[in-house]
Amino acid sequence: MAKVLVKGNEAIAQAAINAGCQCYFGYPITPQSEIGEYMGEHLPEMGRVFITAESELASINMVIGAGTTGTKAMTSSSSCGIALMQEALSAMCCAEVPGVIVSVMRGGPGLGNIAPAQGDYFQALKGGGNGDYKIIVLSPSTVQEAIDLTYRAFHIALKYRNPVMLLADGVLGQMMEPAEFGEYPYKDPDVTQWALDGANNRPARNIVSLHMPEGEMEMLTNRIFKKYEEVAKNETTYEDYLLSDAKLVLTAFGSVARVAKAAVKRARDKGMKVGLFRPVTLFPFPDKDLHDTAKKANMILDLELNKGQMLLDVRSAVFGACPVEFYGRPAGGLLTPDMIYNKIAELYAKLENTTKTEAGVR
**Using CB under 8 A as the criterion, which residues of the chain lie in contact with another protein when the complex forms?**
3-5, 22-23, 25, 30, 49, 51, 53-55, 57-59, 61-69, 71, 73, 87-88, 91, 95, 114-115, 171, 174-178, 196-201, 204-210, 255, 258-259, 261-262, 265-266, 334-339
CA atoms within 13 A on the CB side of 251: 31
The C-alpha atoms of residue 150 and residue 299 are separated, in whole angstroms, by 33
* Total residue count of the chain as it appears in this document: 362
Nearest-approach distance from CB 274 to another protein, in angstroms = 13
- Closest CB to another protein among residues 178, 182: 178
Nearest-approach distance from CB 312 to another protein, in angstroms = 26
Nearest-approach distance from CB 69 to another protein, in angstroms = 4
CA 141 to chain centre: 10
Strands annotated E in 125-200: 136-138, 163-169, 176-179
Which DSSP helix (H) or strand (E) runs through 221?
helix 216-235
**299 and 322 Cβ atoms separated by less than 8 Å:** yes
Nearest-approach distance from CB 11 to another protein, in angstroms = 13
- Closest CB to another protein among residues 208, 359: 208
- Closest CB to another protein among residues 247, 258: 258
User: HEC states along 303-330?
Assistant: EECCCCCHHHHHHHHHCCCCCEEEEECC
The secondary structure of residue 44, as a DSSP letter, is G
The C-alpha atoms of residue 173 and residue 143 are separated, in whole angstroms, by 8
Nearest-approach distance from CB 186 to another protein, in angstroms = 20
Nearest-approach distance from CB 321 to another protein, in angstroms = 27
**277 and 243 Cβ atoms separated by less than 8 Å:** yes
Name the CA radius of gyration of the chain, rounded.
21
- Closest CB to another protein among residues 68, 78: 68
- Closest CB to another protein among residues 207, 321: 207
- Closest CB to another protein among residues 32, 298: 32
